[in-house]
Amino acid sequence: MDDIGLLLSDVPEGTLLELPDGTTPVPAPKDIAAGHKVALHAIPKGTPVRKYGEVIGVTLADIPAGGHVHVHNLGIGPWEEPTASPSPRRTPPTQVSPTRDHFLGYRRADGRAATRNHIVIVPTVNCSATVARMIALRADALHKGTPGLDGVVALPHDLGCGMAEGTPGDAILRRTLRGYLGHANVAGALLISLGCEVNQPANVLGGGVDAEPLAIQQLGGTAATLNTALDRIADLVSRITRTHRVPIPLAELTLGLQCGGSDAYSGLTANPTLGVAADLLVAAGGKVVLGETPEIYGAHHLLRDRASTPEAAARIDQLIAWWQEYTATNGATLDNNPSRGNRAGGITTIWEKSLGAVLKSGTTPLNDVVGYAEPVTAPGLTFMDTPGYDPVSATGMVAGGANLLAFTTGRGSLFGSRPVPCLKISTTSGLYERMRGDIDFDAGPAMNHADQLTYGTALFEALVDMASGAESKSEALGFGTEEIVPWRMGAVL
């Protein structure tokens, strides 16, 4: 049984709150915002508090019936494996079937499936990022409107030098850039280097990655590099015009799941609705990727319990242990994760945030666990070890092969992810109305399982449409060229 209730509208101080146990209504002790929690009964100090049938924290003070439950009186301690709930609320299995069996995509010569046709300009190092942007801006303007070309984009980043070769951070950068350059949605690529950086083109190329390297110092500077790149891009564009969308089985889609700017409605509407869409894609043979390891903490036992192998289950526990040590070493804790906006939206602890975040993954078994930016190859659900910071997490998923992304948000997000389309989903209809120019899908009405099945099916359809070429709001606005953020790890030298 849950110990708290969620307010669906703002409650002024003194408003009588009807509690479900049939006792006399109690007045709200102060103004309480929609999405925040109130105690359904008196809760003594030191008591575990349950939401969704799971523990979200421990009371720091006595809380009266009807009292506001938030950061002033609820916190977490060291993780303890939860005892069985008297009536745990698990997400019921999806009971609908996929409404489609294919999407319209591009078939690459090596057999891979793409949802977009981009030419990408990737710098090896931040020192060549501005030149990469100049090339992309000029080329995109020259070739805008070319049939079959979704754009020429630069993918700048702030790494590539001041780092030691052979370290985990160096390996992550190489793997990430290889993943982008070799992505199915990339129809052509140039790799722009300065010439003297630590991250030389040879560190990134090879292993099937097909991109022409251009070195600014070797070519004689910015102007010469720009002119050479424009000539190369013209050749790439001539090949792209010969490609066309064809029917491709949904089994060849890989969907990355993201949530950002979460609020208390994330776990009530948008995330379980996205979970239904994820289940439908898995039922059609596709792949789904869940990440953001710090945002499964406190709910990782639910994900581990879904593991299809003992190895995958053990890997989840290993990742949580690593992140606890990693955050402690850097003077933080995993409960530092809920942002100011998350807390303003009603989320109190990381355990509470995680319970909602895991719902994005639906109900199917967890078949694989991979490292950051590693290729996603297993059918069904894969967990990727990524930070909770959305651009870093999404960058890892794209590098791992995701060819579309779904992004739930309660506070509002402007995220894009070229060369991969990203569909944004609101937790409330109010947010959708305020940010219609940025949000693609309103999951606000989906507050019960029956509605989540209905809206989840509609969301599945919208994702297939986007994979088939329907433009997302972020693509229409031009987002997605600044949002590549490889995971920065280790010393900057």
Angle between helices 449-467 and 271-283 (to 10 degrees): 60
Is 311 buried (19+), middle (13-18) or exposed (0-12) by CB count in 10 A? exposed
Amino acid identity of 402?
A
Residue 91 confidence (pLDDT): 61
pLDDT tens sequence for the chain (493 residues): 799 999 989 999 999 998 887 678 899 999 999 999 999 999 999 999 999 889 999 999 999 999 999 999 999 877 676 654 444 445 667 778 898 999 999 999 999 999 999 999 999 999 999 999 999 999 999 999 999 999 999 999 999 999 899 999 999 999 999 999 999 999 999 999 999 999 999 999 987 788 999 999 999 999 999 999 999 999 999 988 888 999 999 999 999 999 999 999 999 999 999 999 999 999 999 999 999 999 999 999 999 999 999 999 999 999 999 999 999 999 988 888 788 889 999 999 999 999 999 999 999 999 999 999 999 999 999 999 999 999 999 999 999 999 999 999 999 999 999 999 999 999 999 999 999 999 999 999 999 999 999 999 999 999 999 999 999 999 999 999 888 999 998 888 8
**Six-digit token pair at 105?**
């995509």
Residue 22 confidence (pLDDT): 67
Distances (CA, A) of 206 to 211, 351, 385: 9, 42, 25
- For tokens 């951070």, the residue is 169
Distance CA 270, CA 257 (A): 12
Q: What are phi and psi of 177, to 5 degrees?
A: -65, -35
**3-state SS assignment for residue 252:** helix
**Six-digit token pair at 282?**
């898995």
- Cβ-proximal residues to 123 (8 Å cutoff; 6+ apart), any chain: 129, 131, 132, 154, 155, 156, 157, 160, 191, 192, 193
**3-state SS assignment for residue 241:** coil
Helix (H) or strand (E) holding 213: strand 212-215
Distances (CA, A) of 32 to 27, 63, 91, 261, 349: 11, 15, 28, 20, 18
For residues 303 and 317, is the Cβ–Cβ distance under 8 A?
Answer: no
Sign of CA dihedral 69, 52, 299, 355: negative
Residue of 184, 177, 185 lying closest to 124 (CA atoms)? 177
Distances (CA, A) of 398 to 152, 193, 264, 285, 391: 17, 22, 27, 19, 10
Distance CA 230, CA 222 (A): 12
Amino acid identity of 352?
E
Neighbours of 47 (CB within 10 A): 14
Residue 88 confidence (pLDDT): 44
* 198-231 b/e (C-beta count within 10 Å ≥ 16 → b): bbbbebbbeeebebbbbbbeebeeeeebbebbee
DSSP 296-330: TTTTHHHHHTTBSSHHHHHHHHHHHHHHHHHHHHT
Order of strands across the sheet with 102-107? 113-114, 102-107, 246-249
Residue of 326, 316, 334 lying closest to 370 (CA atoms)? 316
For residues 35 and 411, is the Cβ–Cβ distance under 8 A?
Answer: no
Residue 131 confidence (pLDDT): 98
For residues 230 and 142, is the Cβ–Cβ distance under 8 A?
Answer: yes
DSSP 73-133: TEE--S--PPPPPSS--PPPPP----S-SEEEEEE-TTS-EES--EEEEEESSGGGHHHHH
